[in-house]
Amino acid sequence: MLALFGPVGTTELIIILVIVVLIFGVNKIPQLGKGLGEGIRNFKSSIKEVTADSDKKQSEEEKKG
């Protein structure tokens, strides 16, 4: 899907930043960044937990059979 639009250049990033500032305001941007960072951190930790649980189950199954 992204290949349809081509690479995102500096001009596009500046336009996106201006739109974000207009919508949310300068004061809300740090809060948005913090929320996004926490969400990514939680997502990564969840993936690590699922992977660890899967590895643990697989090693238990190997010991049984």
* Residue range 12-56, pLDDT digits in tens: 989 998 998 899 888 888 898 899 999 999 999 999 999 988 888
- What's the CA angle centered on 21, arms 17 and 23, to 5 degrees? 115
Q: Is the pLDDT of residue 2 over 90?
A: no
The DSSP letter of residue 65 is: -
Q: How far is CA 35 from CA 5, 38, 40, 42, 52, in A?
A: 28, 5, 9, 11, 26
- Tokens 């207009």 -> residue: 22
Per-residue tokens: 2: 């992204």
pTM of the model: 0.57
Distance CA 36, CA 21 (A): 16
Specify the pLDDT at position 56.
84
